[in-house]
Amino acid sequence: MEFRGDANKRIAMISAHLQPSFTPQMEAKNSVMGLESCRAKGGNPGFKVAILGAAGGIGQSLSLLMKMNPLVSLLHLYDVVNAPGVTADVSHMDTGAVVRGFLGAKQLEDALTGMDLVIIPAGVPRKPGMTRDDLFKINAGIVKTLCEGVAKCCPNAIVNLISNPVNSTVAIAAEVFKKAGTYDPKKLLGVTTLDVARANTFVAEVLGLDPREVDVPVVGGHAGVTILPLLSQVKPPSSFTPSEIEYLTNRIQNGGTEVVEAKAGAGSATLSMAYAAAKFADACLRGLRGDANVIECSFVASQVTELAFFATKVRLGRTGAEEVFQLGPLNEYERVGLEKAKEELAGSIQKGVDFIRK
């Protein structure tokens, strides 16, 4: 009888904590099944990571992958919809990170406070026929609001910006941080890892290699002709025929559109993007930990060209992108591509700056 009484008490306590209304305090308890008497769990040393837009196509898979990352001790999942469901789901994975969910603008500050790394895939995706720039109207405002939250609640966090158009949203974020007096160019990183993943995959197919053995630097930005693969610098050193160069450059520049069209109105790349975002976030965390030689491509504040932002290889360290690498030697095809990329990038960056300065 005594046992049954205890069980009833436990069930009542659990039910009390699984009511529909959702608060961070409640979620913290949900993460230990609502039992006050549970032994404290988690506590593994590691970094605090927030995902803003965690209930979306990218956000859900990315939440899963970050929950699997042993460098993460605390994972905050924020969205304006469905955050409780994603949080409950991911929190049942028996990995080290403690998961907490945050729903709606009122909980943004709680979601951000104390974070080391903030990953932002919030915003609308493309449909067939749209350019990434067509997303500016909606996503610019979303990125502005979220970055204002970062400036207020975790001004020292590294920000991985995924929301499109990246060529403009990174400039928006920089302007928000400048306005708030918190801007550190090393800590604002536009995520272009998917371009590199695609380039490695497509080049490996052409060369008949395992993509894990291939390294293609992809520079410039993250839209159409601004995505510039440097095939002359592929590792292992390889030569391509002119038609292979044309095919590969085109396919890499239009990889996003290939997925948008295949999904036929159901969105853009989510699974490969979550993979790429998780890979890039892991590199940022290894850099924060102090690992040597952590090198990835990213769209960052840069003096490599005359543009304020440009994607190249960067070295990630304890303070973010600590070194921005030069382009290296380009062939004639790449020099022409670079001019085209810069022309389009200049307008996209300015559009982002103007959105905040008006």
Ligand X SMILES: O=C(O)C[C@H](O)C(=O)O
Of 51-59, 85-93, 115-123, 251-259, the segment contacting ligand X by CB under 6 A is 251-259
Catalytic residue list contains 222: yes
Select 70 or 141, whichever has its Cβ closest to ligand NAD.
141
- Judged by CB under 6 A, the number of residues near ligand X is 11
Of 38-46, 77-85, 231-239, 324-332, the segment contacting ligand NAD by CB under 6 A is 77-85
Among 55, 159, 203, 316, binds ligand NAD (CB under 6 A): 55
Of 7-15, 135-143, 179-187, 240-248, the segment contacting ligand NAD by CB under 6 A is 135-143
Of 92, 108, 125, 124, nearest to 50 (Cα)?
A: 108
Distance of CA 2 to the CA centre of its chain: 51
Joined together, the tokens standing for residue 41 give 């769990």
Query: ∠ CA 68-277-65 to the nearest 5 degrees?
Result: 15
Binding flags for ligand NAD, 81-120, as an x/- string (CB under 6 A): x---------------------------------------
CB of 312 closer than 8 Å to CB of 327: yes
Among 34, 46, 53, 287, binds ligand NAD (CB under 6 A): 53
- Residue 89 backbone dihedrals phi, psi, to 5 degrees: -60, -55
Q: Is there binding between residue 312 and ligand X (CB under 6 A)? A: no
Amino acid (1-letter code) at residue 358:
K
Among 48, 126, 144, 342, binds ligand X (CB under 6 A): 126
Which residues, at least 6 apart from 176, have a Cβ–Cβ distance to it below 8 Å? 144, 147, 148, 151, 356
Select 34 or 57, whichever has its Cβ closest to ligand NAD.
57
Tokens 């659990």, residue located = 14
- Residue 266 backbone dihedrals phi, psi, to 5 degrees: -95, 20
Q: Is there binding between residue 194 and ligand X (CB under 6 A)? A: yes
Q: Is there binding between residue 132 and ligand X (CB under 6 A)? A: yes
Of 160-168, 230-238, 307-315, 327-335, the segment contacting ligand NAD by CB under 6 A is 160-168
Among 269, 277, 278, 307, binds ligand X (CB under 6 A): 269
- Judged by CB under 6 A, the number of residues near ligand NAD is 33
Which residues, at least 6 apart from 350, have a Cβ–Cβ distance to it below 8 Å? 171
86 to 105, contacts with ligand X by CB under 6 A?
A: none
Paired strand residues for 118: 50, 159
Of 145-153, 173-181, 254-262, 350-358, the segment contacting ligand X by CB under 6 A is 254-262
| Residues placed in the known binding site | 53-59, 79, 126, 132, 139, 162-164, 198, 273
DSSP classification of residue 99 = E
Joined together, the tokens standing for residue 245 give 């160069």
To the nearest whole angstrom, how small is the minimum distance from the Cβ of residue 247 to ligand X? Answer: 18
d(CA 202, CA 272): 14
Select 111 or 159, whichever has its Cβ closest to ligand X.
159
Q: Which does 48 bind (CB under 5 to 8 A by kind): ligand X, ligand NAD, none?
A: none
Give the 3-state secondary structure of residue 171. helix
Select 57 or 96, whichever has its Cβ closest to ligand NAD.
57
CB of 168 closer than 8 Å to CB of 142: no
CB of 113 closer than 8 Å to CB of 52: no
Please state whether beta strands 218-220 and 227-229 pair in parallel, antiparallel, or not at all (unpaired): antiparallel
Question: How many residues would you count in the chain?
Answer: 358
Q: Is there binding between residue 224 and ligand X (CB under 6 A)? A: no
Select 171 or 194, whichever has its Cβ closest to ligand X.
194
CB of 255 closer than 8 Å to CB of 194: yes
CB of 18 closer than 8 Å to CB of 33: no
Q: Is there binding between residue 270 and ligand X (CB under 6 A)? A: no
Which residues participate in catalysis according to the annotation?
A: 222
User: Under the rule (CB under 6 A), what is the footprint of ligand X?
Assistant: 125-126, 132, 164, 194, 255-256, 259-260, 268-269
